[in-house]
């Protein structure tokens, strides 16, 4: 998302640096570098290594003062308070983005409440939320009034395909033209709940034996999901594609995008699917229900894999509804998740 926005920020005269604080810099760092960001790797010490953390705070404060940054934008919740504190010590403005609707455990809730209050009221950290669901969650659970600026997508990377392009892509991916193709994008985890899509397949197969589920993403639950598909007799109907760079190619090959998460902050992959003109079936949970707040832009259903199967069959056999949802969803993402509009909002946070 911030890679897509790099040209916008550079036009505003911004010098861009991104710091990776995980143990490994990550494979996506090359995309930041290609977009004009300076990439710095500074791993944050492990928990309970208190002396190392104190030394880290001191070195980080010295580093950001030396580099003369104007704004530190924090994206990792695990060290939000610490980085906001260091920024305050250095006399540098900070912004923190809330990405999730995850609620603290009862024993950690008081700490998280105090961290929010002190970072905001004492350190002057500005708080931004990425969607209606995240904004409402922060306000209701933590009495924390944030500035809502929606996420955005790369308009030049995600856009609808014509009929001929879809046919061509299916040939390249060795997908039969007549197949009903479902797609999900995201890591294999209990939160994403891809197992519900797999459990819906036997029922879908009864009316559409050639159904194919394109499963993009990897994770701890992948082997469990493979075993589930084999046990249900639908292993040949699921293509585990792993992590892919050419996401749009797979999206335009699909007939229906499906997301069965337990919750989301806001789903970037859903925005990208809608931008590609793929009709969506989503579970009615936080971060996914946002897509229907302006009208019916997707099929929003209860969390049930039998209902999911019925809805897939219904939507596929009603092409006029599918086209209507695609059109409405495309207009939604162009207006609500517009790069220039929302990146401009972030720039205003940096400037004020």
* Cβ atoms of residues 197 and 260 within 8 Å: yes
Closest by alpha carbon to 149, among 347, 328, 17? 347
Predicted pLDDT at 157: 94
Looking at 3.20.20.100, 3.40.50.300, 3.40.190.290, 3.40.50.2000, the CATH number of the domain 6-152+338-351 comes to 3.40.50.2000
Closest by alpha carbon to 17, among 63, 52, 59, 77? 63
User: Which CATH code fits 163-336?
Assistant: 3.40.50.2000
Q: What is the pLDDT along the chain (352 residues), one digit of tens a residue?
A: 999 999 999 999 999 999 999 999 888 899 999 999 999 999 999 878 889 999 999 999 999 999 999 999 999 999 999 999 999 999 999 999 999 999 899 999 999 999 999 999 999 999 999 999 999 999 999 999 999 999 999 999 999 999 899 999 999 999 999 999 999 999 999 999 999 999 999 999 999 999 999 999 999 999 999 999 999 999 999 999 999 989 999 999 999 999 999 999 999 999 999 999 999 999 999 999 999 998 999 999 999 999 999 999 999 999 999 999 999 999 999 999 999 999 999 999 999 8
pTM of the model: 0.93
Three-state secondary-structure class, residue 89: helix
* Cβ atoms of residues 261 and 270 within 8 Å: no
Predicted pLDDT at 48: 80
Predicted pLDDT at 28: 83
Closest by alpha carbon to 283, among 184, 139, 150, 159? 184
CATH 3.40.50.2000 residue ranges for the chain: 6-152+338-351, 163-336
Predicted pLDDT at 176: 94
Closest by alpha carbon to 28, among 54, 7, 2? 2
Three-state secondary-structure class, residue 148: strand
Task: State how far the Cα of 283 lies from the Cα of 263, in Å rounded to an integer.
Answer: 9
Encode burial over 153-169: b for 16+ CB neighbours within 10 A, e otherwise: beeeebebbeeeebeeb
CA angle in degrees (0–180, nearest 5) for 203-205-210: 160
Task: State how far the Cα of 108 lies from the Cα of 66, in Å rounded to an integer.
Answer: 35
């Amino acid at each position: 998302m911030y890679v897509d926005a790099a040209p916008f920020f550079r036009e505003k005269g911004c010098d861009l640096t991104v710091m990776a604080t995980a143990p490994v810099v990550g494979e996506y760092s090359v995309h930041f570098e290609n977009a004009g960001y300076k990439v710095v790797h500074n791993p944050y010490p492990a928990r309970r290594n208190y002396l190392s953390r104190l030394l880290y705070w001191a070195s980080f404060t010295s580093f950001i003062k030396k580099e003369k940054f104007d704004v530190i934008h924090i994206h990792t919740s695990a060290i939000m308070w610490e980085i906001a504190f260091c920024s305050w010590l250095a006399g540098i403005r900070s912004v923190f983005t809330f990405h999730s609707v995850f609620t603290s455990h009862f024993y950690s809730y008081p700490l998280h409440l105090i961290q929010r209050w002190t970072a905001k009221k004492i350190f002057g950290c500005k708080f931004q939320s990425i969607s209606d669901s995240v904004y409402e969650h922060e306000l209701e659970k933590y009495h924390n009034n944030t500035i809502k600026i929606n996420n955005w997508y790369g308009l030049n990377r995600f856009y609808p395909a014509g009929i001929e392009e879809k046919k061509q892509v299916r040939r390249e991916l060795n997908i039969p033209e007549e197949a009903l193709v479902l797609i999900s994008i995201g890591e294999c985890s209990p939160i994403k709940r891809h197992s519900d899509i797999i459990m819906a397949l036997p029922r879908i197969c009864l009316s559409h034996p050639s159904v194919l589920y394109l499963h993009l993403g990897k994770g701890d639950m992948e082997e469990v999901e493979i075993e589930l598909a084999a046990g249900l007799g639908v292993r040949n109907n699921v293509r585990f594609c792993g992590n892919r760079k050419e996401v749009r190619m797979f999206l335009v090959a699909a007939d229906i995008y499906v997301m069965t998460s337990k919750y989301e902050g806001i789903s970037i992959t859903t925005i990208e699917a809608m931008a590609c003109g793929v009709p969506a079936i989503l579970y009615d949970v936080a971060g996914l229900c946002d897509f229907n707040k302006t009208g019916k832009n997707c099929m929003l259903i209860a969390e049930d894999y039998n209902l999911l199967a019925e809805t897939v069959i219904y939507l596929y056999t009603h092409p006029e509804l599918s086209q209507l949802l695609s059109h409405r969803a495309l207009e939604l993402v162009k207006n609500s998740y517009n790069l220039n509009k929302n990146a401009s909002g972030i720039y205003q946070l940096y400037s004020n």
